[in-house]
A and B are shown apart, each in its own frame.
Chain A
Amino acid sequence: MAKEKDIIEGCLSGSRRDQELLYRRYSPKLYAVCLQYAGNTEEARDVLQEGFIKIFENLSRFSHEGSFEGWMRRIIVNTALERYRSRYYLSRVDDIDEVTEPESEPDTDDFAGLEAYDLLNIIMELPPKYRMVFNLFAIEGYSHKEIGEMLGISEGTSKSNLSRAREILQKKVMILTGVTRRMVNV
């Protein structure tokens, strides 16, 4: 199996074969990220294509100091964000100062039977503004301040969107796993 560094150097020298090798190796993981942010397959395809063009264009800037996969993931996420901003910039929600948390929260063990594909489908069903904030906060680990700057919204909006996203996700997960029924029965 070719080493990551060799593939990168091959790409930089213009080898189309190495470019394809890099694509084949990493595109499944990155396409999953695209789906997670894009919400539908058409949009995800565009994000992946645009993202890979950027990856190739900027490959010479990769310093080999951090994770290559992480570097590519950031490019994909930024590409998805750019597309989101261009489409949904005007679609904002009112700020909510008080963030409401679900009254009762099931334990993580209750979701043990969930497949990754189920989670992906659930997250893809979220409205775009909730999906973006949830992904950036819960999956990527950005703060509300950073998310606000990325999406052009206030911190309060980011918090409220996250709260709403969690609420929706929790309900959907509970429905999917039958936790609600069990909780009611108990």
Chain B
Amino acid sequence: MFEREPNIDIVFRNGLKNLEVLPPADMWDNIPPMPVRHTRLRVISGIAAGVAALVSLTLLVTWYVRNNNTPVLLSEVTVPGDGLQGSPIDIMEASPISGTEDARIVRFVTLSDPAVPVVEAVPDLTADEPAVLIASADIPEQRTEPGEPVILFPDEITVINAGRFAGAEEGIMATMAEAKTAPAGQRFLVGASMSPAIGFSPSGNNQRLAELISSERSRPSYSTGVTVGYRISDRLTIQSGIGMASVGQTISDVNVYAGLSDFYAVKSSYLYSVETASGTILSGNTDLYLTGSKDRVGTLIQGNMADPSKYQLTQVGSDIQQVFRYLEMPVVLRYKVIDRKLGLNLSGGVAYGLLVDNTAYTGEGSDLIRVGHTEGINIHNISSQLGLGMEYSLSRKITFNLEPVFRYYMTPLSDISGSLYKPYSLGFWSGFSFKF
């Protein structure tokens, strides 16, 4: 049987159903900004994009290597024969250069009547010029028919001079077959690098972001690490390695006072929040009182009643430093535009970064006080970089690089105000490489 509901319940339920009471006016100021959490889909998309970029780069390198495995070591060869003894033939200019995998077919473009006079091939090598690879081929005469291509097999070609630079006094005596199996040596390189940089923060059309950024300045950032590389060809090198990168910014319109815990004890994990372009700093140090402009500072303290003058708090900082450190794994392709002792390199690549440190602190020198950490920072990021700089060969094995590098974060460091926050930086990549 249906039990009748007491009328008093109905009276209160209906009476309170649409009741609205305006909360105190300052209530909103005490609610900190919502921490931005990235959806799993977004994180997966970011990682997938990074993996796709690396796979594409690998495929590109593989394609390049496979399509450039014709013998490039020889640019000139002397071929014996009637009227051609000692005559240098530029293989690179001979056309077509094709044939079986091991053979090199040379079409005598200069075979004419009268035959090309015999000339002793004496390379004119100057100190800073890259040395051409000089070779001679002992070919039976019957294989040098006028008007017919000459087929040169690797074991018929003897390398008599080779080297990066003429001044290096290199005189490798080897057959072409040997030269192919151990091409020019020094395929690998290891090195150490250091790259100081200065960052920039684009705000786009986001007004709030622009307002916040106007009181934030980038901290000088840097990345250091060790690199390993592989010379795909004389001009092209692929490099990777591992390093540590540090980026950050200074929030200049926030004042920090210490001593609050003597007057205000709480169990909360944080008391103050500071809205910044790269995320919200949550002040886990509950001894600190924070105040600032642009409504960027929020607090859980009711009515923000902590008054520094009333509580006699001590000012310990007039800004907050945000620091993010990433473990970085770059993959960079480096191309020698000018291949001289003092060369010019063009480089481009991507780097995967894993966030290993996220700290906000205040103070100066040795008196640094940890404030807390920044919420909403991506754990992973992918950045791209493009550089153009010089490479100086200190010796056959050691080179020094100095290269202005532009870096752009392809994935955002964080999200705020509906805008993707992707800083960029301009720096100098410098380092030494040892070839072996």
Residues in B neighbouring A23, C-beta threshold 8 A: 28, 31
Q: B33's contact among A16, A29, A120, A166, by CB below 8 Å, is which?
A: A16
Q: What string of 1s and 0s marks CB contacts (under 8 Å) between B398-421 and chain A?
A: 000000000000000001111000
Residues in B neighbouring A10, C-beta threshold 8 A: 418
**5 more A-B residue pairs beyond the given contacts A53-B32, A107-B7, A138-B13, with a C-beta to C-beta distance below 8 A:** A12-B36, A31-B23, A36-B16, A57-B35, A137-B9
Please judge, given known A-B contacts A28-B23, A60-B39, whether A138 and B12 are in contact too, CB under 8 Å: yes
Residues in A neighbouring B31, C-beta threshold 8 A: 19, 23, 49, 52-53, 56
Majority SS of interface residues in chain A? helix
| Complex-state Cα separation, A58 to B34, whole angstroms | 10
| Complex-state Cα separation, A7 to B399, whole angstroms | 57
Tell me if B80 is interfacial: C-beta within 8 Å of chain A.
Answer: no
Residues in A neighbouring B18, C-beta threshold 8 A: 29, 116
- B1-47 at interface with A (beta carbon < 8 Å): 6-13, 15-16, 18-24, 27-28, 30-37, 39
Cross-chain contact B19 with A32 (CB below 8 angstroms): yes
| Complex-state Cα separation, A24 to B294, whole angstroms | 20
Please judge, given known A-B contacts A14-B417, A105-B7, A114-B11, whether A28 and B22 are in contact too, CB under 8 Å: yes
Tell me if B302 is interfacial: C-beta within 8 Å of chain A.
Answer: yes
Please judge, given known A-B contacts A14-B416, A29-B20, A45-B23, whether A139 and B12 are in contact too, CB under 8 Å: yes
- 3 residue pairs, one from A and one from B, having the closest CB atoms: A56-B34, A28-B20, A138-B9
Residues in A neighbouring B23, C-beta threshold 8 A: 27-28, 31, 45, 48
Residues in B neighbouring A29, C-beta threshold 8 A: 18-20
Residues in A neighbouring B416, C-beta threshold 8 A: 14
Cross-chain contact A46 with B302 (CB below 8 angstroms): yes
Residues in A neighbouring B417, C-beta threshold 8 A: 13-17
Residue from A56, A123, A138 whose CB has the most chain B CB atoms within 10 Å: A138
Cross-chain contact A48 with B27 (CB below 8 angstroms): yes
Tell me if A169 is interfacial: C-beta within 8 Å of chain B.
Answer: yes
Shortest beta-carbon distance, A100 to chain B, in Å?
12
| Complex-state Cα separation, A176 to B13, whole angstroms | 18
Tell me if A62 is interfacial: C-beta within 8 Å of chain B.
Answer: no
Tell me if B300 is interfacial: C-beta within 8 Å of chain A.
Answer: yes
| Complex-state Cα separation, A116 to B208, whole angstroms | 40
Closest B residue, CB atoms, query A119 = B15
Cross-chain contact B13 with A116 (CB below 8 angstroms): no
| Complex-state Cα separation, A16 to B300, whole angstroms | 17
Q: A13's contact among B21, B30, B35, B36, by CB below 8 Å, is which?
A: B36
Residues in B neighbouring A12, C-beta threshold 8 A: 36
Tell me if A101 is interfacial: C-beta within 8 Å of chain B.
Answer: yes
Tell me if B275 is interfacial: C-beta within 8 Å of chain A.
Answer: yes
Residues in A neighbouring B7, C-beta threshold 8 A: 105-108, 111
Tell me if A153 is interfacial: C-beta within 8 Å of chain B.
Answer: no
Tell me if A132 is interfacial: C-beta within 8 Å of chain B.
Answer: no
Closest B residue, CB atoms, query A30 = B23
Closest A residue, CB atoms, query B20 = A28
Residues in A neighbouring B36, C-beta threshold 8 A: 12-14
Tell me if A151 is interfacial: C-beta within 8 Å of chain B.
Answer: no
Tell me if B308 is interfacial: C-beta within 8 Å of chain A.
Answer: no
Cross-chain contact A120 with B11 (CB below 8 angstroms): no
Q: B34's contact among A11, A27, A49, A173, by CB below 8 Å, is which?
A: A11
Tell me if A72 is interfacial: C-beta within 8 Å of chain B.
Answer: no
Residues in A neighbouring B376, C-beta threshold 8 A: 14
| Complex-state Cα separation, A101 to B8, whole angstroms | 11
Tell me if A170 is interfacial: C-beta within 8 Å of chain B.
Answer: yes
Please judge, given known A-B contacts A114-B11, A166-B6, A173-B8, whether A13 and B418 are in contact too, CB under 8 Å: yes
- B185-199 at interface with A (beta carbon < 8 Å): none
| Complex-state Cα separation, A11 to B416, whole angstroms | 10
Tell me if A149 is interfacial: C-beta within 8 Å of chain B.
Answer: no
Closest B residue, CB atoms, query A48 = B23
What are 27 contact pairs spanning A and B, CB under 8 A? A11-B34, A14-B415, A14-B416, A17-B417, A19-B34, A27-B23, A28-B21, A29-B18, A31-B20, A31-B21, A31-B23, A32-B21, A45-B302, A49-B27, A49-B302, A56-B34, A59-B34, A101-B6, A107-B7, A111-B7, A111-B11, A111-B15, A117-B19, A139-B16, A166-B8, A169-B8, A173-B11
